[in-house]
Amino acid sequence: MPELRKDPVVGRWVVFSPERQIRPERYVCEELPPTKPEDNPFLEGHEAYTPPEIYAIRPNGSAPNGPGWQLRVIPNRYPALRVEGNLDKEAVGFYDRMNGVGAHEVIVETPHPQLVLEQQTLPGVVRVLQAWRARMIDLSRDIRLHYALVFKNHGARAGATMPHPHSQLIAMPVTPIVVKEKLAAARAYFIEKDRNLFEDILKSERTSGERVVFENDGFTAFCPFASRFPFETCLMPRRQSPDFQTASDGELLLLAEGIQRVLSTYASVLDQPSYNLILQTAPFRRSRHPDAWSTIDSDYRWHIEILPRLTGVAGFEFGTGVYINPTLPEDAANILREGMTHG
Amino acid sequence: MPELRKDPVVGRWVVFSPERQIRPERYVCEELPPTKPEDNPFLEGHEAYTPPEIYAIRPNGSAPNGPGWQLRVIPNRYPALRVEGNLDKEAVGFYDRMNGVGAHEVIVETPHPQLVLEQQTLPGVVRVLQAWRARMIDLSRDIRLHYALVFKNHGARAGATMPHPHSQLIAMPVTPIVVKEKLAAARAYFIEKDRNLFEDILKSERTSGERVVFENDGFTAFCPFASRFPFETCLMPRRQSPDFQTASDGELLLLAEGIQRVLSTYASVLDQPSYNLILQTAPFRRSRHPDAWSTIDSDYRWHIEILPRLTGVAGFEFGTGVYINPTLPEDAANILREGMTHG
């Protein structure tokens, strides 16, 4: 059974999942070799090599766990957290722990082993976003779960161990520290100014324009003022909502366009970099904190972060939380805008 | 001029140092090839290829910037922060920035290009720690500087770009967020319990013993209860002090033994892993926050973290601040203790 433990100093939770140790190596530093078809459980016709599917898009109504799908969601074979069991929150002497109850799912974005997200058709990208939304809505009904993170590790340097295009979802019984910090900052800002922090960021970016990379009717993509990584991009919806799950099909189409434009520009300008894509959305469970988060509908906004992994994370970053970035976001945005025009 | 920018949501500072962009790549993922002697500025006799030395140990009284040294401290040729200039703290529209004033120094630990820290004689390791202390004391006198981080990136996966044994020091005009969080937690704990958080951690670890790796008269090395990384080790002094600079020569000797034992056990048990070593100590500037940190002498304690880089940092960790660790610290400590006995 995986286990969650809390750091007694900074309050950070760590997931201990000894079963993942059987993987030869989670983080391969070399370029990923293309998986031999016989070793790729994500291929069409290989459905028997994965756990039974949780969700799938099967336009011709084919039967579950067989061929005929455009997208499949399956449990991770080496899950960081498990659906079964009780939380059993407890003190261990001086420390705090609980069982690693949660979910760890893999969204297989396409049956095609080399069709990376930005090369999919626009409806193909929309399908991926719809799967994220469907899984979030379903998992939010499990009262043991407080938060779900959707993310995509693309390329060896970003932690991917399978080249077949996929994203992941991990749902947890705690609200993680990064989310708590953002919620607390958004709330403090709202209380002080009676304005939404993310709306103010968006306004500031759209007014100056120097860090804006792309815009359509629903979303603005920009390189954040204090980007941690060169060419880091944030995709922010212009409609206020704390929850990604509230995005309409129309909004997902606009978001899909934004993601596709940013990723295809990365691929051409940065020579197909490794990247992490992260969906930041509000926790499922918040009604129990009426004092703390009562204004969450007005003060927090979901958004997407895309982090190209051209630079590393080393002693300085771990010791300080400060990042060293050699590329100003104004320069990065300029290069990305140019690449987009000529792409 | 490098620049510091503050993230408007989480308050994290980012150092923008465009001059570092001229390095071909800060983070090489492949194993580092041994540097050709003619390309290694850290060799004895190559002093002219580095900026003038700031500090050196020259037992025979040899002249600065020539041969005859056991250890040299030099400015980083591609500094993240620079000593010259004013801070010029200012708002940029909605955002906050300041000039990247600070220091970025390289401690060349030995003239021998392959003599890794754990293979040095004990006096050799002590020299390294004395250099750290001397540089911290000197930099703490610059009132523009609030914090200095000493760290060591060893191996390609830990962000090292030079195989010649060295550590680094970066001094900053701000107190970084990781340090602020630890200080705040230590203070809250002290106010609540009238006890030192780090002393309680130490007591808990020494009582159970299951995560303790090594102990001598001054220090306890243990794998933290909520370790982020497999085989992560914390070296904690048993004498209370917030400041590494207060460590006596006797204490540095005991610390050197602890570091050497842990690193040489890593090398044998984990097959010479990449690792980050981080010195966590109190900020230089705190008298201006009498309310916030008045009890720092009793509530915070300096310590050292060593993070082997066997697993990666990917989308999940960036999105949540939660780490996934496949190895329980009890198992890690057991393996390290065994390795130490047989080593």
pLDDT number for residue B24: 38
Measured distance CA(B323)–CA(A2) in Å, rounded: 13
Confidence of residue B29 (pLDDT cuts 50, 70, 90): very low
Tokens of B181: 């969080």
- HSE-up (13 A, CA, CB side) for residue B268: 16
- The minimal CB distance from B10 to the residues A26, A181, A313 is found for A181
Q: What Rg do the C-alpha atoms of chain B give, in angstroms?
A: 20
The Cβ of residue B323 has, within 10 Å, a number of other Cβ atoms equal to 20
Distance CA A210, CA B183 (A): 37
Instruction: Check residues B179 and A26 and name the one with the higher pLDDT.
Output: B179
Q: Does A277 touch chain B (CB under 8 A)?
A: yes
- Cβ-defined contact of B278 to A149 (cutoff 8 Å): no
Give the pTM: 0.93
- Residue B234 sits at the chain A interface (C-beta within 8 Å): no
Q: Which residue of A has its CA nearest to B276?
A: A315
CATH code where residue A197 lies: 3.30.428.10
Angle at A13 between CA A8 and CA A19, to 5 degrees: 125
Percent of chain B predicted with pLDDT > 90: 71
User: Which of A172, A198, A230 marks a domain boundary?
Assistant: A172
Across the interface, of B224, B228, B276, the residue whose CB is closest to A315 is: B276
Chain A: residue nearest B205 by CA? A94
CA A168 to CA A177: how far, in whole Å? Answer: 19
The domain total for chain A is: 2
State the Cα–Cα distance between residues B215 and B257, nearest whole angstrom: 10
Tell which A residues from 78 to 97 touch B, by Cβ distance under 8 Å: 80, 92-95
Task: Answer yes or no: do B278 and B236 share one domain.
Answer: yes
Domain endpoint, select from A172, A195, A212: A172
Same domain, A238 and A210: yes
**Other residues' Cβ atoms within 10 Å of the Cβ of residue B266:** 22
For the stretch B101-144, pLDDT in tens is: 999 999 999 999 999 999 999 999 999 999 999 999 999 999 99
CA distance B61 to chain A (A): 33
**What is the distance between the alpha carbons of residues B156 and B163, in angstroms, rounded to a whole number?**
8
Question: Would the pLDDT of B28 be above 80?
Answer: no
N-term to C-term CA, chain B: 48
Note whether A128 and A117 are within 8 A (CB).
yes
Do residues B100 and B190 share a domain?
no
What is d(CA B275, CA B308) in angstroms, rounded to the nearest whole number?
Answer: 4
Choice among B166, B289, B303, B342 that is catalytic: B166
Are B69 and B134 in the same domain? yes
| Residues in A touching B186 (Cβ below 8 Å) | 9
Q: What range defines the domain where residue A40 resides?
A: 3-172
Q: At B27, is the pLDDT very low, low, confident or very high (cuts 50, 70, 90)?
A: very low
CA distance A62 to chain B (A): 33
Q: Which residues contact A159 (CB under 8 A, 6 or more apart)?
A: A26, A27, A153, A276, B312, B313, B314, B315
The answer to whether the CB of B302 falls within 8 A of the CB of B281 is yes
Residues B225, B303, single domain; the answer is yes
The chain-wide mean pLDDT, for chain B, equals 90
B295 touches chain A (CB under 8 A): no
Are both A157 and A189 inside the same structural domain?
no
Choice between A29 and B6, residue whose per-residue pLDDT is larger: B6
B9, B179, B309: best mutation site toward chain A, by most A Cβ within 10 Å?
B9
Q: Which two tokens stand for residue B108?
A: 């060349």
Give the count of alpha carbons within 13 A of A338, CB side only. Answer: 8
3-state SS string for chain A: CCEEEECCCCCCEEEECHHHHHCCCCCCCCCCCCCCHHHCCCCCCCHHHCCCCCEEECCCCCCCCCCCCCEEEEECCCCCCECCCCCCCEEECCEEEEECECEEEEEECCCCCCCCHHHCCHHHHHHHHHHHHHHHHHHCCCCCCCEEEEEEEECHHHCCCCCCCEEEEEEECCCCHHHHHHHHHHHHHHHHHCCCHHHHHHHHHHHHCCCEEEECCCEEEECCCCCCCCCCEEEEECCCCCCHHHCCHHHHHHHHHHHHHHHHHHHHHCCCCCEEEEEECCCCCCCCCHHHHCCHHHHCCCEEEEEECCCCCCHHHHHHCCEEECCCHHHHHHHHHHHHHHC
Per-residue pLDDT tens digits for B269-323: 999 999 999 999 999 977 545 555 457 788 899 999 999 999 889 999 999 999 9
Looking at the fold, whether A188 and A309 belong to one and the same domain comes out as: yes
- Residue A116 backbone phi and psi in degrees, to 5: -65, 160
Whether A10 sits inside 8 A of B307 (CB atoms) is no
What's the pLDDT score for residue A287?
53
Instruction: Name the residue in chain A with its Cα closest to that of B179.
Output: A320
Check B227 against A14: CB less than 8 A apart: yes
Name the residue in chain A with its Cα closest to that of B6: A226
Let me know the angle formed at the C-alpha of A277 by A284 and A330, rounded to the nearest 5 degrees.
120
Cβ contacts of A246 within 8 Å, gap of 6 or more: none
DSSP structure class, residue B191: H
B60 and B144, same domain (yes or no): yes
Distance to chain B for A84, nearest Cα, Å: 19
Residue A96's DSSP bridge partners are: A91
Tell me the C-alpha distance between A316 and B179, whole Å: 12
Same domain, B166 and B204: no
As a whole number of angstroms, the distance between CA B205 and CA B221 comes to 10
Does residue A27 belong to the interface with chain B, where contact is any CB pair within 8 Å? yes
- Please identify, among A172, A200, A229, the residue that sits at the C-terminal boundary of a domain: A172
Q: Which of A234, A278, A322, A330 to mutate to test the interface with B (most CBs of B within 10 A)?
A: A322
Q: How far apart are CA A242 and CA A313, in angstroms?
A: 29
DSSP B115: -
List A residues 183-202 in contact with B (Cβ-Cβ < 8 A): 185-186, 197, 200-201
**If you measure CA to CA, which chain B residue comes closest to A227?**
B14
Task: Indicate the helix (H) or strand (E) that contains B136.
Answer: helix B122-139
For tokens 């230590």, the residue is B186
Catalytic residues of A, by residue number, are 166
Nearest beta carbon to residue A27 from set B151, B152, B312? B312
How many contacts, defined by CB atoms under 8 Å, are there between A and B? Answer: 268
Q: Would you state the pLDDT for residue A20?
A: 64
| Residue-level pLDDT at B288 | 47
Nearest CA in chain B to A315: B276
Q: Is the pLDDT of residue B170 over 60?
A: yes
Task: Read off the tokens for A222.
Answer: 């920009």
pLDDT value of residue B22: 42
Nearest neighbour of B16 by CB, restricted to A172, A207, A328? A328
Contact by Cβ (8 Å): A177, B10: no
Please give the Cα distance from A155 to A177 (Å, whole number): 26
Helix ranges (H only) for B194-295 are 197-208, 249-269, 290-293
Closest CA to B54 of B168, B154, B173: B168
CB contact under 8 A, A185 and B11: yes
Note whether B30 contacts A26, CB cutoff 8 Å: no
Residue B148 pLDDT greater than 90, yes or no? yes
Residue indicated by tokens 């041969």: B67
Distance between CA B42 and CA B115 in Å, rounded? 12
Question: What is the C-alpha separation between B100 and B82, in angstroms, rounded?
Answer: 6
pLDDT along chain A (343 residues), means of 10: 86 81 44 78 95 96 96 93 87 90 96 97 98 97 94 94 95 92 90 92 96 98 96 97 97 98 96 96 73 70 96 92 93 95 71
With CB atoms and an 8 Å threshold, state whether B326 touches A21: yes
Residue B194 CA to residue B205 CA, distance in Å, equals 20
Q: Look up tokens 């919620």; give the residue.
A: A183
Q: Best interface-test mutation with B: which of A107, A278, A318 has the largest number of B CBs within 10 A?
A: A318
Q: Hey, what are A135's tokens?
A: 């899984």
* Residue B23 shares a structural domain with residue B156: yes
Q: Which of B192, B316, B334 is the mutation pick for testing A, counting most A CBs within 10 A?
A: B316
Measured in whole angstroms, the distance separating CA B236 from the mean position of its chain's CA atoms is 14
Instruction: Find how far residue A234's CA is from the centre of its chain.
Output: 12
Contact between B327 and A19 (Cβ < 8 Å): no
**Are the Cβ atoms of B20 and A326 closer than 8 angstroms?**
yes
Which residues lie across from B276 on neighbouring strands? Answer: B153, B307
Query: What secondary structure letter does DSSP report for B245?
Result: G
Query: What is the rounded distance in angstroms from the CA atom of residue A235 to the CA atom of residue A246?
Result: 16
CA separation, residue A91 to residues A58, A94, A97, A98, B142 (Å): 46, 7, 6, 9, 44
Q: Does B101 touch chain A (CB under 8 A)?
A: no
Cβ-nearest to B94 among A23, A156, A204: A204
Cβ–Cβ gap B153/A314 under 8 Å: yes
Angle between helices A122-139 and A249-269 (to 10 degrees): 120
B223 in the same domain as B140: no
Interface test with B, best of A28, A195, A316 (most B CBs within 10 A): A316
> Does one domain contain both A132 and A19?
yes
**CA A109/CA A132 separation, integer angstroms:** 10
ipTM field: 0.92
**Which among A173-182, B165-174, B180-189 has the top mean pLDDT?**
B165-174
Q: Residue A29: what pLDDT?
A: 47
The better pLDDT of the pair B203, A10 is held by B203
Would you say the C-alpha torsion A224, A226, A232, A236 has a positive or negative sign?
Answer: negative
Report the Cα B260 to chain-centroid distance in Å. 15
